[in-house]
Amino acid sequence: MSTPARSSSYHPLGPEQTEIILDSLAAGILTVDLEGRITSFNKAAEEMTGVPREEALGRDCSEVLRSSLCGDDCPIRQARSTGVSVVNKLAYIVDVHGTRMPVSLTAADLLEGGRLVGGVESFRDLRLVEELRKKVEQSYSFEDILSRNHRMREIFELVPTIAESDSTVLIEGETGTGKELVARAIHNLSDRGSRPFVAVNCGALQDTLLESELFGYEAGAFTDAKRRKIGRFARAEGGTLFLDEIGDVSAALQVRLLRVLQEREYEPLGAVKTEKTDVRILTATNKKLEALVKGGTFRDDLYYRIDVVRLSLPPLRERKEDIPLLVDHFMGRFNRVQNKSISGVSDEVMHLLMDYDYPGNVRELENVIEHAFVLCRDGIIEAKVLPRSVNAGVTSGDEMPSRGRSLAEMEEFTIVDALHRNDWNRIAAARELGIHKSTLFRKIKDYDISLPEKDGRSPRKDPKQSRVADPD
């Protein structure tokens, strides 16, 4: 039985209809011929560039858009040479008033009857996206520190109060957790903020070098001392001296530091008179000083002098909710510094970044993103450009689910883990997660997460599993 012929009611769109459709779109759209001259220019393109359509038609595309990618990096030229469309490439265009506008560019070949006749490019205004990104970053930033973690937020709240005094502060935390950033924040918010902030890594110098570096020396104090040298205490006069890795200081130098803290004076090497000092001392360590005191390698009287106020920074593996925020921050910085247009990371990359334990903490995450930027030209960061340690999904524990989980499963895990850490107190868990309590209640319902019964029994399933079973 033959199929009846379908009545032909299809009619191709005419130029006027096509123009109406293009003018209704929010994205700027233009087409060019093989010479790069503009052949069509929609209403959104007019509004974003400030160039009327009549003036744009026939002009070279680069003269109108004045994009940061004009020239060798032209998306239309790239699409033509590779045969692959360019999608969501970050760039800037400059309008008629000279204002730079962040945009996302997409380009492809323009064919007519199977024959290449030019190219088409769309550009989407990212100013609102940039504003929202900045607002999010500002909401979770303190001085130069970014975090939405509840423990870090508590430190943010304490720092202004600590800054008001001149008391010595001990900042504990693993390498790369941002101890110097916290010290700088204390200094910047204090009355000494306009005076010098001088940092010394006590673990990076030998004992004799560290002593001369801290206190300075007079000419002739030793064989190579041909001229007087000003020490770090003198350079920090009126300001703040930050002694990083204080746990590595030798016993002899500990005695000299104790005298400075007690008497507020010191003697440069080879000097015959005592120098008075007016500096605030902030210290930091990646070691447990209490254990060093018990072991006899750190003086207890010096320990009590520097441990007036103590701040303990959590490692990144205990504040993994900060990883997406930090990734976005580092990507924005490296895009500017390296003049690239990388728009984000793939879902797989985010899985790997969330699953890794970061023995080097925030500093290591920054290095991971920089490594990826070096190997990734543009577009999206894929797993193949991550360092081998991260790409292997290596983790020293089971804080996060194994790689390959969906984003929804990872979110469910994070919620259950936060509830468990806060003894199933939903208000405290919402505060830790940085979300409104009603949002948390909705997600608990969406994921069918069972909460403890009134007798205080916890759900049967371990929070490190992706779903908590309903209690009997």
pLDDT of residue 38: 93
Domain boundary among 280, 314, 348: 314
∠ CA 41-43-45, rounded to 5°: 60
Domain count of the fold of the chain: 3
267-311 pLDDT, tens digit per residue, is 887 777 888 999 999 999 999 999 999 999 999 999 999 999 999
Do 165 and 274 have their domain in common? yes
Ranges of the chain whose pLDDT falls below 50: 1-7, 393-405, 454-472
Nearest to 247 by CA among 178, 304, 311, 303: 303
Q: Is residue 453 part of a domain?
A: no
Q: Could you tell me if 254 and 148 lie in one domain?
A: yes
Cα 284 from Cα 299, distance rounded (Å): 16
Both 310 and 173 in one domain: the answer is yes
- Asked if residue 428 belongs to a domain, the reply is no
| Of 179, 136, 216, the residue nearest 434 (C-alpha) | 136
Residue 81: C-alpha distances to residues 119, 121, 242 (Å): 12, 15, 55
Containing 365, the helix (H) or strand (E) segment is helix 361-375
Co-location of 118 and 242 in the same domain: no
Q: Is residue 449 part of a domain?
A: no
Q: Is the dihedral of CA 343, 348, 354, 357 positive or negative?
A: negative
295: three-class secondary structure by DSSP: helix
pTM above 0.75, yes or no: no
- Structural domain of 30: 15-125
Domain match, 276 and 362 both: no
Rounded CA-CA distance 465/450 in Å is 13
Q: How far apart are CA 221 and CA 272, in angstroms?
A: 11
387 and 323, same structural domain?
Answer: yes
Q: What is the pLDDT of residue 68?
A: 78
Residue 277 is predicted with a pLDDT of 93
Last residue of a domain, one of 272, 296, 314: 314
Give the pLDDT of residue 377: 75
Lookup: tokens for 399? 């804080």
344 and 253 co-located in one domain: no
Are residues 329 and 283 part of one domain? no
